[in-house]
């Protein structure tokens, strides 16, 4: 099971070499055997998954195939509304979020033949980068138990790394797809703002929320993106731009692409091993023919300040009710972050939204006039121990959260596509990762660079040894 | 009428919360000084949707 990718398994299923029921059963058995320690799932829908797999198998027997996702086991962060399953959003409340519409991204994958194994653990209300959760258990890093899986899509990354499913969906408001992908040694893509519908997904911050895939390979992430991208009448912010066949563009050579390595902000105070790994990744791309240049980018700190104002104001508006009526149910750091939003003035919120537009315009014009992509680290250090990130006062924990997500947050404020790809391991076996950032709606170039890098190295092919 | 009053004791937020809010407000005050009247929030979507493919210009 751990050797399959969506692309390879899809081909085998289509050729009737592997049965959807057999694959689904194998995944469920693996979850039952190993997830008690990892805690990546909140809800496992074994009965529903097997029923769907049997239907899909019958379709194949009748000569019908829905395409590359026919019979592929997937699972979704527990903030996606899926009919028939509860959506806790990582809170203690079993059905915290309901929606008139099912999650559009999930519907598109399911219509394409994907089998839903269940709903995945996450940081409470998606507010935190470490993946700890007092209600559903801290998600353990499959590579190194006792260390963070990253958050907030902690279960989404851990389930892929552990080989429970072949792909998952996560959400990313400040790094919540890329941070856990980096910590768990899998691929995670935050698409451009508007590229993927957020309909049917619990909002955290309307202006900063993105939905995207986590998978074992860049090619698999491209396949998932191709399924979930595109306009959705249920999400007014979703773009009407056409969706390329991303997977068909992956093998276009990267020679001639200009890739920038920022000399300011992104490498400041970075862990030495991480620094070396990201610079080594740049050299690999150079070896493949890309032109890597050192560049100075517009200071991302104002974008982070502005994003913090927007995120705090919007999240407190969205989740006011639980803070007002059941504050005792929330983890202290989550409550503290939400409470700040109640005291942000309308004036500051609106100024922040106006400033964001300016920074996005300036950043895109200055950086992408001469470059096709930026290369940067994702996390400042390899996954830290869970006990260390949970220690101290609420203020210390919140401050630690901000430091851990400082390399991903700018691209939520700017709305740019950003991909996290494994790029090595620390001496004690914790994954390292590189972030590839592109111009608006140019996921194709970002994925192309990631795919070329991945094929030139073997980091993504390694699997954690699970007991 | 305010619909939310999380702090019952004289409705005064805790010190750390006041500090956090003040820091964010100060950042906005510092950054927004030269916003022009024409700059509005929807400019963000315009930037993303209308980004010209500058690779073609460079070629």
**Rounded distance between C-alpha atoms, residue A61 and residue A53, angstroms:** 12
Catalytic residues of A, by residue number, are 77, 152, 176
User: Least CB-CB distance to B31: which of A306, A323, A368?
Assistant: A306
Q: Does A425 contact B at CB distance below 8 Å?
A: no
**pTM for the whole thing?**
0.95
Coil, strand, or helix at residue A420? strand
pLDDT given for residue B55 in this prediction: 46
pLDDT given for residue A228 in this prediction: 98
pLDDT given for residue B9 in this prediction: 47
Size of interface A-B (CB pairs under 8 A): 113
Contact state of B51 with A439 under an 8 Å Cβ cutoff: yes
Positive/negative CA dihedral, A71, A99, A225, A409: negative
Q: Which residue of A has its CA nearest to B11?
A: A343
Give the bridge partners for A385, in sequence order: A147
Coil, strand, or helix at residue A245? coil
pLDDT given for residue B2 in this prediction: 46
Question: What residues in B contact A306, CB-CB < 8 Å?
Answer: 27-28, 31
Using alpha carbons, list the distances in angstroms from residue A117 to A50, A161, A349.
9, 15, 40
pLDDT > 90: what percent of chain A? Answer: 99
Contact state of A440 with B25 under an 8 Å Cβ cutoff: no
Question: What residues in A contact B31, CB-CB < 8 Å?
Answer: 302, 305-306, 351, 355
Q: Which of A205-219, A414-428, B18-32 has the lowest mean pLDDT?
A: B18-32
Q: Which residue of A has its CA nearest to B16?
A: A395
pLDDT given for residue B51 in this prediction: 78
User: Least CB-CB distance to B28: which of A352, A368, A394?
Assistant: A352
**Rounded distance between C-alpha atoms, residue A248 and residue A250, angstroms:** 6
ipTM of the shown complex: 0.85
In this prediction, residue A378 has a pLDDT band, given cuts at 50, 70 and 90, of very high
Contact state of A357 with B43 under an 8 Å Cβ cutoff: yes
Give Cβ neighbours of residue A162 (< 8 Å, ≥ 6 apart): A30, A34, A35, A38, A40, A142, A464, A466
What's the rounded mean pLDDT across residues A172-181?
Answer: 98
Q: Which residue of B has its CA nearest to A346?
A: B25
Is A356's pLDDT higher than 50?
A: yes
State the smallest CA–CA distance between residue B1 and chain A in angstroms. 14
- The interface residues of chain A toward chain B in range 436-455, judged by CB-CB distance below 8 A, are 439-441
User: Least CB-CB distance to A348: which of B6, B25, B43?
Assistant: B25
Give Cβ neighbours of residue A263 (< 8 Å, ≥ 6 apart): A294, A295, A296
**Rounded distance between C-alpha atoms, residue A351 and residue B28, angstroms:** 7
Q: What is the pLDDT of residues A30-88, one digit of tens each?
A: 999 999 999 999 999 999 999 999 999 999 999 999 999 999 999 999 999 999 999 99
pLDDT given for residue B57 in this prediction: 40
**Helix, strand, coil percent content, chain A, rounded in steps of 5:** 45, 15, 40
For residue A77, report the phi and psi dihedrals to the nearest 5 degrees: -55, 140
State the smallest CA–CA distance between residue A391 and chain B in angstroms. 18
Q: What is the pLDDT of residues B1-56, one digit of tens each?
A: 445 455 544 456 678 888 889 999 999 999 999 999 999 999 999 999 987 654 44
Contact state of B43 with A415 under an 8 Å Cβ cutoff: no
pLDDT given for residue B15 in this prediction: 81
Instruction: Tell me which DSSP letter residue A264 carries.
Output: S
Coil, strand, or helix at residue A342? coil
Contact A90, A79 (CB under 8 A): yes
Q: Which of A99-103, A193-197, A377-381, A445-449 has the lowest mean pLDDT?
A: A99-103
Contact A217, A247 (CB under 8 A): no
- The interface residues of chain A toward chain B in range 43-62, judged by CB-CB distance below 8 A, are none
Q: Does A354 contact B at CB distance below 8 Å?
A: yes
- The interface residues of chain B toward chain A in range 18-37, judged by CB-CB distance below 8 A, are 18, 20-21, 24-25, 27-28, 31-32, 35
Tokens encoding A61: 């027997």
Is the backbone peptide bond immediately before A152 cis, with ω within 30 degrees of 0? yes
State the smallest CA–CA distance between residue B37 and chain A in angstroms. 10
Q: What is the pLDDT of residues A215-237, one digit of tens each?
A: 999 999 999 999 999 999 999 99
Average pLDDT value over all residues in chain A: 97
pLDDT given for residue B11 in this prediction: 53
Question: What residues in A contact B20, CB-CB < 8 Å?
Answer: 340
Give one DSSP letter per residue of A63-116, joined into a string.
T----TTTT-EEEEETTB--TTS---TTSSSTT----SS--HHHHHHHHTT-EE
Q: Which residue of B has its CA nearest to A325?
A: B6
For residue A424, report the phi and psi dihedrals to the nearest 5 degrees: 140, -170
Q: A424: closest CA among A315, A276, A292? A: A276
């Amino acid at each position: 099971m751990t050797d399959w990718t969506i692309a390879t398994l899809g081909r085998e299923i289509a050729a009737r070499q592997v049965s959807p029921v057999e694959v689904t059963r194998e995944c469920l058995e693996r979850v039952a055997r190993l997830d008690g320690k990892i805690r990546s799932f909140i809800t496992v829908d074994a009965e529903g998954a097997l029923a769907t797999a049997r239907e899909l198998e019958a379709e194949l027997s009748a000569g019908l195939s829905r395409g590359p996702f026919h019979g592929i086991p997937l699972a979704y962060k527990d903030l996606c509304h899926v009919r028939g399953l509860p959506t806790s959003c990582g809170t203690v409340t079993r059905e915290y979020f309901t929606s008139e519409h099912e999650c559009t991204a999930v519907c598109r994958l399911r219509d394409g033949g994907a089998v839903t194994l269940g709903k995945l653990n996450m940081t409470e209300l998606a507010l935190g980068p470490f993946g700890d959760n007092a209600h559903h258990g801290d998600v353990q890093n499959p590579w190194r138990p006792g260390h963070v899986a990253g958050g907030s899509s902690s279960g989404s990354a851990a389930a892929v790394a552990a080989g429970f499913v072949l792909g998952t969906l996560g959400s990313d408001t400040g790094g919540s797809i890329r941070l856990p992908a980096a910590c768990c040694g899998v691929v995670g893509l935050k698409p451009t703002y508007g590229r993927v519908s957020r309909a049917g997904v619990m909002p955290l911050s309307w202006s900063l929320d993105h939905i995207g895939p986590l998978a074992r390979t860049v090619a698999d992430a491209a396949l998932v993106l191709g399924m979930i991208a595109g306009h959705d009448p249920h999400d007014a912010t979703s773009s009407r731009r056409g969706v390329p066949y991303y997977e068909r563009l992956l093998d276009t050579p990267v020679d001639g692409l200009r890739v920038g390595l920022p000399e300011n902000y992104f490498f400041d105070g970075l862990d030495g091993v991480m620094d070396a790994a990201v610079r080594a990744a740049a050299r690999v791309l150079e070896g493949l023919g890309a032109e890597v240049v050192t560049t100075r980018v517009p200071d991302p700190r104002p974008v982070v300040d502005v994003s913090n104002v927007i995120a705090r104001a919007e999240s407190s508006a969205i989740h006011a009710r639980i803070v007002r009526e059941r504050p005792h149910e929330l983890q202290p750091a989550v409550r503290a972050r939400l409470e700040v939003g109640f005291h942000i003035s309308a004036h500051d919120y609106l100024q922040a939204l106006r400033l964001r537009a300016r920074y996005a315009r300036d950043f895109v014009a200055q950086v992408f006039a001469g470059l096709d992509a930026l290369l940067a680290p994702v996390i400042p250090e390899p996954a830290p121990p869970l006990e260390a990130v949970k220690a101290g006062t609420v203020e210390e924990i919140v401050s630690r959260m901000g430091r851990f997500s400082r390399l991903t947050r700018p691209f939520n404020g700017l709305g740019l596509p950003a991909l996290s790809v494994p790029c090595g391991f620390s001496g004690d076996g914790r994954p390292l990762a590189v972030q590839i950032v592109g111009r608006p709606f140019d996921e194709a170039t970002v994925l192309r660079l990631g795919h070329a890098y991945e094929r030139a190295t073997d980091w993504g092919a390694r699997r954690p040894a699970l007991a | 009428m305010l619909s939310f009053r999380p702090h019952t004791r004289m409705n005064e937020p805790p010190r750390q919360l006041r500090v956090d809010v003040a820091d964010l407000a100060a950042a906005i005050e510092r950054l927004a000084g030269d916003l022009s009247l024409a700059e509005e929030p929807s400019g963000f979507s315009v930037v993303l949707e209308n980004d010209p493919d500058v690779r073609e210009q460079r070629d």
